[in-house]
Amino acid sequence: MVWPIERARRRTRVGRASHPVDMSITPREDEMRLVKSFAFAAVLLLSSALSAAAQSAREDIEAALTKFTDAFNSGNAAAVGQLYTEDAAVLPPDGKR
């Protein structure tokens, strides 16, 4: 008589196994592997989304810098002034107020 565990060790999806199936993994360990896989996928997805958001912010900053540079180089003070907000604060080179 072949016990069910021994049968599981001997067979795979397509027939006899070339190596025994590892039965030392408990259902709890199997569940933890699944949780770790989902956590890794979530971190990967989140990091790619944050990277896209950072790239978008960088493009916005570069566009504003281009507008400022063009307005400043053309001597258009009104266009430069429109780039500042009402609560803008001009800071000295050391950055202290």
Write out the two tokens for 30.
Answer: 């199997």
7 lies in a domain?
no
Q: What's the confidence (pLDDT) of residue 69? A: 94
Domain that includes residue 62, residue range? 25-82
Write out the two tokens for 95.
Answer: 């950055």
47 lies in a domain?
yes
Q: Which is nearest to 68 in space by CA: 90, 84, 55, 87?
A: 84
Write out the two tokens for 47.
Answer: 């990091």
Give pLDDT tens digits for 19-69.
666 667 777 888 888 899 999 999 988 888 887 777 788 888 899 999 999
19 lies in a domain?
no
